[in-house]
Amino acid sequence: MSEYKTINEKKADWEESTLKKVLDRFPEQQEEFVTGSGHPVERLYLPSGISEEEYIKKIGFPGEYPYTRGVQPTMYRGRFWTMRQYAGFGTAEESNQRYKYLLEQGQTGLSIAFDLPTQIGYDSDDSMSEGEVGKVGVAIDSLKDMEILFEGIPLDKVSTSMTINAPAAVLLAMYIAVAEKQGVARDKLRGTIQNDILKEYIARGTYIFPPAPSMRLINNIFEFCSKEVPKWNTISISGYHIREAGSTAVQEIAFTIADGIEYVRNAIGVGLDVDSFAGRLSFFFNAHNDLLEEVAKYRAARRIWARVMKEKFNAKKEKSMMMRFHTQTGGSTLTAQQPDNNIVRVAIQTLSATLGGTQSLHTNSRDEALALPSQESVMIALRTQQIVANESGVISTIDPLAGSYYIEAITDRIASEAWDYIEKIETMGGMVKAIEKGYVQKEIQDSAYRYQRDVEDGNRIVVGVNKFTVEEEPPKGLLKVDPSLRTVQVEKLARVKGERNNVAVTASLKALKKGAESEDENLMPLILDAVKKYATLGEISGILREVFGEFQESIVL
């Protein structure tokens, strides 16, 4: 018994003898090691001595509060994550072809990329749309385009995610209208609208209206869907773009959860019962290259959200406390140099997302730092997911990294730092206030600036960019969007306007305007009516712009 030493005593011995001998002769490569987000990492992590009680409280079991280990009791043993490639470009016809191709290749859900005019509520013929039509996604002006987009794709068989925020209500209405034409009832529809305006103000930039009317539209959608489209995920509260803008992993989940708190508080504020809508809230995170830090990030996020919903909002239903999330690999980690290296980065990120328990995943294509991905690149990206799912073995057991001294330590550290941010934002009066002050934007910019400085100074290595560089030929076979596309789209729009019943359109827009002016009317039925009459996205958004006004960015440098 006298020989027995505690781990800490043993560690001190080890540092004095075994470790010191080596360090004296061979110093380590860096004075300090840091995570992808710049947080210091210790040389060695040791058992934390967590008690059984603490384990159950903090880590628990999959499918049970606080969901640290995952939201489903069987996770990928039951079913793989949904492999969902974000796609869309050019016209509805071209995108429809790409979706059919992806479904044939074994993809299990659709994810629609809209062009910027669509995302900001401008028709293709608007002067603001110059140069942007069909560039980063598909151009949708009216229900006609949406009918073409889903032609031959049965909407009761696929789940569809739509990256649409400010005009989310309009695109959701169009989707419901297309389903009706296919004979598919609303309660059969599965999918997600991003509908997360707060992160648009913070990081992504496709806002239209100021916060108050934007929050109203979101509440209208929550309420409408809870009754009419019960399987629809009414929002995808997104940290993805916050991270792309240069935040750390901690900031990504902290600001996302603070956004979530704001949405829930607002919805409760207009009289919605928390358990009537909270189960349909979903999340969206990034996957960067620091595999272990990312895994810990997802685990921490689930734990915090569960606590917020239970303790702050008194949710009763389990579903209301579960953080279900989609992941996309990190666009900003891709390099234009030696683009094939990106395949490897994406594979690592795929592992982090799946070891972290994601519900669905988009893997970026190797050429996305250069252009929209080619079909061949998209195939490699999808195959990367299929290899991880079918060959790597990570799916066989749930939350396989749990219990790693390091993983548990950084899960706790990330959770605690994120919690500090959340409390700070709450003290400021919530996320809308924090955004108006420019606080969140500034925090992210500072992180982005530090990161880029580190790359420039060579303190952070990016392979092919500031080390292991080569002279390269410009890449070939990049996807190019035909610049004449705008003309085609504008002609199509003119035809729709010529063929529709313009008296009915005017009447429906007038009704919408009246509804928008009265503060308590749910606008979803009015938008749905306008959409079915083939009122365009630009016309509907234009009416709402008149009533609601437009958001002005507060610039902080």
CA gap 250, 256 in Å, rounded: 10
The 355-394 contact track toward other proteins, x by CB under 8 A, reads --------------xxxx----------------------
- What DSSP string runs through 184-212? --GGG-EEEE---HHHIIIII----S-HH
Number of shown-chain residues binding other proteins (CB under 8 A): 44
Q: Should residue 483 be labelled a site residue for other proteins when binding is judged by CB under 8 A?
A: yes
Q: Taking the complex as a whole, how short is the minimal distance between the CB of residue 452 and other proteins, in angstroms? A: 5
Residue 376: CB minimum distance to other proteins, A: 17
Longest dimension (CA), the chain: 94
Residue 394 vs residues 73, 115, 186, 380: alpha-carbon distances, Å: 16, 36, 36, 20
Residue 46 dihedral angles phi and psi, to the nearest 5°: -125, 165
| CB within 8 Å of 525: residues ≥ 6 apart | 224
- Does position 440 interact with other proteins (CB under 8 A)? The reply is no
Query: Where does residue 6 rank: exposed (0-12), middle (13-18), buried (19+ CB within 10 A)?
Result: exposed
Interacting span for other proteins (CB under 8 A) from 232-240, 352-360, 490-498, 549-557: 549-557
Strand, coil or helix: 86: strand
CB of 56 to other proteins, least distance (A): 41
Of 42, 456, 482, 519, the one binding other proteins (CB under 8 A) is 456
Q: Binding marks (x or -) toward other proteins, 169..188, rule CB under 8 A?
A: --------------------
Strands (E), 471-512: none
Rule CB under 8 A: say whether 335 interacts with other proteins.
yes
Among 14, 33, 405, 449, binds other proteins (CB under 8 A): 449
Residue 87 bridge partners (DSSP): 112
By CB under 8 A, is residue 246 in contact with other proteins? Answer: yes
Q: How many CA atoms lie within 13 A of 342 on its CB side?
A: 26
d(CA 241, CA 230): 27
Closest C-alpha among 175, 166, 254, 289 to residue 218:
166
The only residue of 94, 125, 145, 244 in contact with other proteins, by rule CB under 8 A: 244
448 lies in the site for other proteins, by CB under 8 A = yes
Residue 540's SS3 state is helix
Based on the shown chain and the rule CB under 8 A, indicate whether residue 463 belongs to the binding site for other proteins.
Answer: no
Both ends of the chain: CA-CA distance in Å?
A: 63
Residue among 203 and 378 whose Cβ is closer to other proteins: 203
Here the tokens at position 61 are 């079991």
34, 41, 103, 136: which one binds other proteins (CB under 8 A): 136
Q: Return the residue of 142, 286, 320, 337 that touches other proteins, per CB under 8 A.
A: 337
Tally of helices (H runs) and strands (E runs) in the chain: 23, 12
Among 123, 125, 132, 443, binds other proteins (CB under 8 A): 132
Nearer to other proteins, 242 or 398 (CB): 242
Residue 49 sits in the site that holds other proteins (CB under 8 A): no
Window of 30-38, 270-278, 411-419, 478-486 that interacts with other proteins by CB under 8 A = 478-486
Order of strands across the sheet that contains 190-193:
86-87, 110-112, 159-162, 190-193, 232-233
Could you say whether residue 200 binds other proteins (CB under 8 A)? yes
The 3-state DSSP class for residue 300 equals: helix
Q: For other proteins, which residue of 41, 272, 478, 547 counts as binding (CB under 8 A)?
A: 478
Q: Does 245 bind other proteins (CB under 8 A)?
A: yes
Q: Which is nearer to other proteins, 184 or 369 (CB)?
A: 369
Q: Which residues make up the interface to other proteins (CB under 8 A)?
A: 116-117, 119-120, 122, 128-132, 135-136, 200, 203-206, 244-246, 332, 335-337, 369-372, 445, 448-449, 452, 456, 462, 465-466, 474-475, 478, 481, 483, 553, 555, 557
